[in-house]
Amino acid sequence: MELWAKLTAGEKMVAGGILAVVVGWILGLILGNAQECVTVLGYTSCVGSLNYFTWGSAGLLAGLALVGAIVAGVILFLKVSPNMKVAWPMPVVQILLGVCLATLVCAALAVLIQLTNGGNPPALMYVADAIMVAGAAVATWFTYQAWVAGKA
């Protein structure tokens, strides 16, 4: 709780967005499953399960969004940790903005690929997608606001 108190209001919103990306990714793993069944001569047999959330390029981009969120969380932690003195190569807010923006782009592209892939994905998977993209957007927006305030 000591570290949480050191965060500004905007950084707390960024942390909340990071948490939303992680929760959205986990929900996508849970809600993206669908049974694959085949009917032959009137007999239906389920041959397995497919997770639409992790399938193909969308799964790779969703994973990259998760990695970006984790990296942003580590940056926030290193920024406020009292025993960590990091020599940042540029202002921390610029690094955080770049990571959050990359996370948002990866999450949005994952959703776009999932929407255009076809198939019959579970509808609740899109709820997980919305949480992930919204979290990345919140983190990016509040980091951008901190960057603009630092420029003025």
Q: How many domains does the chain have?
A: 1
How confident is the model over 67-106, as pLDDT tens digits?
A: 999 999 999 999 888 887 888 899 999 999 999 999 999 9
**Domain, as residue range, for 56:** 2-151
Looking at residue 152, its pLDDT comes to: 65
How many helical (H) and strand (E) elements, i.e. helices and strands, does the chain have? 5, 2
Looking at residue 136, its pLDDT comes to: 95
Residues of the chain with pLDDT under 70: 1, 119, 152
| CB crowding 123-147: b at 16 or more within 10 Å, else e | eebbebbebbbbbbbbbbbbbbebe
**Residues above pLDDT 90, as percent of the chain:** 50
CATH number, domain containing residue 100: 1.20.140
